[in-house]
Chain A
Amino acid sequence: MIKFSKVSKKFPEGTVALSDITFEIPDKQFLFVIGPSGAGKSTLLKLLTRETELSSGSIFLDEEDITKIHHSKLPHLRQKIGNIFQDYRLLDDRTLWENVALALEVRSRPEKEIKTTVENVLELVGISDKKDLFPQQLSGGELQRTAIARAIVGSPEVILADEPTADLDPKNSWEIIKLLSRINEQSGAIVVLATHNAEIVNTLKKRVIRLDRGKLVKDEKEGKYESV
């Protein structure tokens, strides 16, 4: 379970990215975070991995206040979370296989386990035939599948996806979302998906929270994407 309690984030220059956000995400939930650009969606996700530090409030993951985790324990926190980004953020000089394996290498898993787990996950996301190619040789959809494979290969408790379909065509977008939805159902990991894509949100009928100028303005169990 994830719990945001009175979370605010102010940037040094005075911009308020988030203000007094409180909500909970129960285990196994699939959650959309929507809102216009600059609403604070990305900041919300970055707080969960401590890529950004909050200004006040607290965030709990499994009863642990992650805002109080010592710097040296951050890798451990991040290993519980799988990240997916709009720009994929893969390592260009490594093959797909190596990019995915990285997530297990940092967890010091034995080589044999890495080999079988990575094969399985590449199979699951449907790119096992491309595993020896480098990122430049792949399409956007394939890159995002690789990023998803890297995010889920370590069996994280939470998957954070920040606009994962923003750079993809509708067909690929749908496949990525379906993949994430399936992973959510099969693994039980919490999925938090920040998006602009109204069609996806409206079709999937999952919980939706809406941010606007740093405030939580709507929280619906089976939400829709409406322009305000």
Chain B
Amino acid sequence: MFKTTWVNLRRSPYKALAAVLVLALTFFLVARFSLLAINTQSILSYFESRPHLSAYFKNDASGEKIEAIQKEIQDTGKTSDIRFISKEEALKIYQEQNKNDPVLLELVTADVLPASLEIRAKDAKFLPDLAQILKAKPEVDQVVFQEDVIKQLKQWVNAVRLEGLIVIGSLVTVSLAVILLIIGLRIASRRDEIRIMQLVGASPWFIRWPFVLEGAFYGLLGGLIGATVGFLVFFFLSPYFQSSVFNPSFNLPVNPFTPLVLAIAFLAQVLAGFLLGVVGSLLALWRYLR
């Protein structure tokens, strides 16, 4: 069975090469887009988990007033978390963020920085209401909320994902068609042999197996090459990517690419390649050898 498959491959190396290359291209892009998708997902959740709304107080706001406001906001039931950041804490955060820049550190004292409330809403749709309440308070100097930023980021990420899906979807279709065509040609060129095998009493699967194996081989090899190149490119590019898009002040907390995630993503792609090859040849068998 394996021998028949091997003979088939050796007989027409260019067909085999074409199949493997198309599959490799497909899985190269699958690798790129899937890594990008995992990455953007983590960026999104990072932004989503950040305080949605910050209210900065005027310098003269008293502790009691601030507490009263905090209670009022809490009582709306629309928040999931409220944190008071005092001037001193704000300074600490500032110092931490700019610890490499002594000039900036010198300029700022706790007095300059406002105290603030960092509020996470249960849902983004409550943000305008909460902002309304806070803006109405004379003690509140400024209200900042990131709803629009997240919304835009989400749209952008979704657009990238949709485009990725379309590109991958078309390439998967093309790959399937190429395998179907190549295995179909193979079946056509071996009609006589198939007839002989049938006459000798070969069961349908005895005849089909070598074709399925051939498709599986193309898929496996294409998936392996494509995913390997895709992952390598990712590893070489990601340092630039990280440093340009996410400059240190962004301080992206999680790296989603643990070795386990990477290994799973890689194996999933090789497996997908294998399955694509099998499905392609099964389609060819269904079409040409019923």
Contact = CB atoms under 8 A, between A and B. Distances in A.
Contact of B201 (A72, A89, A90, A103): A103
Contacts, number: 45
Interface residues of A, number: 22
A83 interface: yes
Nearest to B199: A83
B201 A107 contact: yes
Interface in B1-45: 7, 11
A150 B196 CA distance: 11
Interface residues of B, number: 15
Contacts of B196: 89-91
* Majority DSSP secondary structure for residues of B touching A: helix
A38 interface: no
B206 A51 contact: no
Given A93-B7, A106-B206, A78 B201 contact: yes
Interface string B199-226: 1111110100000000000000000000
Nearest to B193: A91
Interface in A65-99: 72, 74-79, 81, 83, 89-91, 93
25 contacts: A74-B198, A75-B201, A75-B203, A75-B206, A77-B201, A78-B198, A78-B199, A78-B201, A79-B201, A81-B201, A83-B199, A89-B192, A89-B196, A89-B199, A93-B7, A102-B197, A102-B200, A103-B200, A105-B206, A106-B197, A106-B200, A106-B202, A106-B203, A150-B200, A154-B201
Interface of B: 7, 11, 192-193, 195-204, 206
Interface of A: 49, 51, 72, 74-79, 81, 83, 89-91, 93, 102-103, 105-107, 150, 154
